[in-house]
Amino acid sequence: MTERTPSFSAEQGRTAVLASALVRGVLAAGLGLGSLTVLALAVWISSPAPDSGPGGALHTAAGIWLLAHGAVLVRTDTLSGAPAPVGIVPLLLTGVLVWLVHRAARDVMEPDEGRTPPSGASAFCLVTAGYLLVAVAVALYAKGGPMFARPGSLLFPMALVVGGGAAAGVWAAAGRPIGPPPAWAPVRVREALARSRFVERADAVLRSAVAGTAVLLGGGALLVAVALVWHEQALRDSFLGLSGDWAGRAAVLLLALVLVPDAAMWGAAYGMGPGFALGTASTVTPLAFTGRPALPNFPLLAAVPTHGAGTAPNWAAAAVPVAAGVTIAWFTVRRAAPARGVGESAWGLRGTALTAALAALGCGMCTAVLTAAAGGPLGTGALAEFGPVWWLTGAAAVAWTALLGVPGALLLRAWRLRGPGSEGERAEVMEKAVSPVTPGVADAEAPGRPSEERRRWWRLRRGPGGADAAAGTESGTGPVTGAGSVRPFATAPASAPVPTSASRDEEHAGRDAYDFLPTGPWHGRAVEDPPWVTLLTEPETPSARPPEAGPTSGSGESASS
């Protein structure tokens, strides 16, 4: 029966694969939501005097889950009774949820036994659709609670965040390719991109931008940690004053942990110069802390510097963007000049500078996106602006990394290409510089060691006639046989190579490169061997000597051939 209905079985397998992709998206959303729900219920159960029942804990978990995807929440249980927006996204929780949808899309693309995986477009659409189905259900449930999501924020940025995670999973399953332009692109564009090393440079730009952003995050986190240690007493008072029982302190600690990346972005913005806002009337920068801040009671906010003008420790925060610019320069040069002293595969100055500039632009874009998530309103009135301004921070990141990364990349490139990078390379260069140029002799042996042909040529020069014999062999007149007499039309010895026209041209071209030439006759000069020739020559054999000249008939007379 299987042989009779092969198309039905194939169609059934195809449907199962597509349904599995949709289910994987649903499971990825449910796993993140379920984890948050378990934590919220655990805190509610352990609290000695909870303010609401289990429904309140479930609504809180739903609201935090939506907030982690970028949705803007609206709180209705405020002291004034007026709804208050909440726009600060817990970035650590966002990273976990995006990784879940990324893993779901990547696993869909892996082929199962006996089944063909769906196409990349199908996997992306089905996983995203399954995840967003759960998001819509959660948004409808949270609408009846104390925190609900604005409908517009469910499309942007929430749907964009989920789609980005799914697209990253499909791209990872395909091997993270950075391919050439599509087939519909003009031929001239594709040829130009092929000549300009588009794929290699795009990969270098991506890696450098990610590395620069990571350094900004790490440096900002380091600034926050140092500031918290510096204000240890304020940190302790804030943490102990928010709750008097261990369950409440555990909840505060968990909330502080998921907001650590947000605090790191605040520290990076502070180090780059724009700083951050503590309300509509207060700004904190390395130069000064001005205005009257609207400062809630929270442990991470204890890292805020002292009110007033900045001092040298505050200005030292500029080391964070400096480190990011140096990192971009280093990652760019790793691809632009992969090995010191090897210039054949190195990029040009223009390509290196352009790659570093594009990496700085990418770093600024990533920083702007993360800053937009780390800052936002915490209410109305004075808390309508809280945190760094995304466009100022992004522009500052581009300025710092471009001004430091582009010149740094060019300097590092020049340093890595300044000369041979190893002793072997230097030895090879020196051997080529000092070894004699033998016309028509090809050195087929290892570099730095004369070949057998070159050895024989030097033996011929050291034999009777010396340079005259070698020169006579090259010119075809034969070796000198006596005082002023030569043997015309003499046949060159078998051990002496016969020069070709190409070798003569190369010899003449080499001679023309000198500024001056000796004017005396070439056959009257003695040839001095280099010092190392005696170490290379072997005991002379009769076969290596030129034929003995016959008796001469007198001065100025040449013997017959």
Q: What is the pLDDT of residue 340?
A: 53
| Token duo for residue 460 | 């011929």
What is the distance between the alpha carbons of residues 435 and 457, in angstroms, rounded to a whole number? 13
CA distance 108 to 121: 11
How many CB atoms are closer than 10 A to CB 142? 23
Q: What confidence score (pLDDT) does residue 489 get? A: 39
302 alpha-carbon distance from chain centroid: 35
Q: What is the DSSP letter of 542?
A: G
Q: At which residue do the structure tokens 């300044």 appear?
A: 418
Structure token digits, residue 179: 């391919």
Q: Which residues, 6 or more positions from 122, have their beta carbon under 8 angstroms from its beta carbon?
A: 18, 21
| C-alpha pair distances (Å), 8 with each of 1, 21, 108, 445 | 11, 20, 22, 68
Cβ-in-10-Å burial (0-12, 13-18, 19+) of 136 comes to exposed
Beta carbons of 117 and 123 less than 8 angstroms apart:
yes
The encoded tokens of residue 108 equal 């869909």
| Residue at 165: amino acid letter | G
Reading the chain (561 residues) residue by residue, the pLDDT tens digits are 334 434 434 555 788 889 999 999 999 999 999 999 999 999 888 887 777 788 889 999 999 999 999 999 999 888 777 889 999 999 999 999 999 999 999 999 987 766 788 889 999 999 999 999 999 999 999 998 888 999 999 999 999 999 999 999 999 998 888 876 777 778 887 777 777 778 889 999 999 999 999 999 999 999 999 999 999 999 999 999 888 788 888 889 999 999 999 999 999 999 999 999 999 999 999 999 999 998 889 999 999 998 899 999 999 999 999 999 999 999 999 989 886 545 457 888 999 999 999 999 999 999 999 999 999 999 888 889 999 999 999 999 999 999 999 999 999 999 988 865 444 444 444 444 444 444 444 444 444 444 555 555 555 555 555 444 444 444 444 444 443 444 433 444 444 444 444 444 444 444 444 444 444 444 444 444 444 444 444 444 444 444 444 444 344 444 343
Contact 208, 331 (CB under 8 A): yes
Taking the C-alpha atoms of residue 374 and residue 366, their distance in angstroms, rounded to an integer, is 12
Residues shown for the chain: 561
Supply the pTM of this predicted model. 0.72
Q: How far apart are CA 111 and CA 281, in angstroms?
A: 57
Regarding beta strands 147-149 and 84-86, do their DSSP bridges make them parallel or antiparallel, or are they unpaired?
A: unpaired
Q: Assess contact for 332 and 269: CB atoms under 8 A.
A: no
- Secondary structure class of 289 (helix, strand, coil): strand
482 DSSP 8-state letter: S
The DSSP string of 129-173 is HHHHHHHHHHHHHHTTSSEEE-HHHIIIIIIHHHHHHHHHHHHHH
Query: 71 and 156 in contact (C-beta within 8 Å)?
Result: no
Residue-level pLDDT at 66: 96
- What's the burial of 122, exposed, middle or buried (CB within 10 Å: 0-12/13-18/19+)? middle
pLDDT of residue 551: 44
- CA atoms of 282 and 296, how far apart (whole Å): 13
- Residue 55 carries which DSSP code? H
Inter-CA distances, 398 with 24, 314, 409, Å: 38, 21, 15
> CB of 300 within 8 A of CB of 259?
yes
Helices (H), 463-520: 467-475, 501-512
Distance of alpha carbon 476 from alpha carbon 473, whole angstroms: 5
Give the Cα separation of 286 and 227 in Å (integer): 13
Calculate the dihedral angle through the C-alpha atoms of 198, 203, 208, 210, rounding to the nearest 10 degrees: 130
Give the Å distances, CA to CA, from 99 to 63, 102, 107, 169, 550: 19, 5, 12, 9, 94
Whether 461 contacts 529, CB under 8 Å = yes
209: Cα within 13 Å, side-chain hemisphere:
21
Q: Which of 72, 70, 69, 42 is nearest to 58 (CA)?
A: 42
Query: What per-residue confidence (pLDDT) applies to 419?
Result: 61
Separation between Cα atoms, residue 143 and residue 522, nearest integer Å: 104
Strands 73-75 and 288-291: unpaired
Q: Summarize pLDDT for 397-414 with one digit per residue, the tens.
A: 999 999 999 999 999 999
CA 172 from centre of chain: 16
148 in Cβ contact with 63 (< 8 Å): yes
What's the rounded Cα separation, in Å, for the pair 453 and 429?
21
Helix (H, G, I), strand (E, B) or coil at 308: strand
What's the burial of 250, exposed, middle or buried (CB within 10 Å: 0-12/13-18/19+)? middle
Q: Is the dihedral of CA 401, 407, 410, 415 positive or negative?
A: negative
* pLDDT at residue 78, rounded to an integer: 81
- Summary count for the chain: helices (H), strands (E): 20, 8
How many Cβ atoms sit within 10 Å of the Cβ of residue 494?
Answer: 8
Q: Quick one: pLDDT at residue 401?
A: 97
CA 500 from centre of chain: 51
